[in-house]
Amino acid sequence: MKKATLAFSDLDSIDALEALKPEADEGMKRVDIEISMDPPEIDIDAEDTGALRAALNSYLRWLDISDKITDEYNK
């Protein structure tokens, strides 16, 4: 198994993690994803490197979009 953990410290990230929970519950092929709030982090367990890379790309992209939306909203 390949593993990665994305840890967060700011409140905007915590809101984004809440929004991503349904996606994690739906699941991805060859990947188990857990999102926790205490501490705020995303744990990814994948069967292989390709699946880990795909999951990381997806979650990082969604977090980036959330960050951009938050920045635009706070202008």
Backbone φ and ψ of 28, nearest 5°: -135, 155
Q: What is the CATH number of the domain that holds 27?
A: 3.30.310.50
Distances (CA, A) of 65 to 5, 10, 22, 32, 56: 19, 16, 16, 22, 14
Overall number of domains in the chain:
1
pLDDT greater at residue 9 or residue 34? 34
What is the extent of the structural domain holding 68? 2-73
Report the percent of the chain where pLDDT is more than 90.
Answer: 65
Contact 14, 40 (CB under 8 A): yes
- Measured in whole angstroms, how far is the alpha carbon of residue 27 from the centre of its chain? 12
pLDDT, greater one: 54 or 67: 54
- Give the angle subtended at the CA of 69 by the CAs of 8 and 63, to the nearest 5°: 35
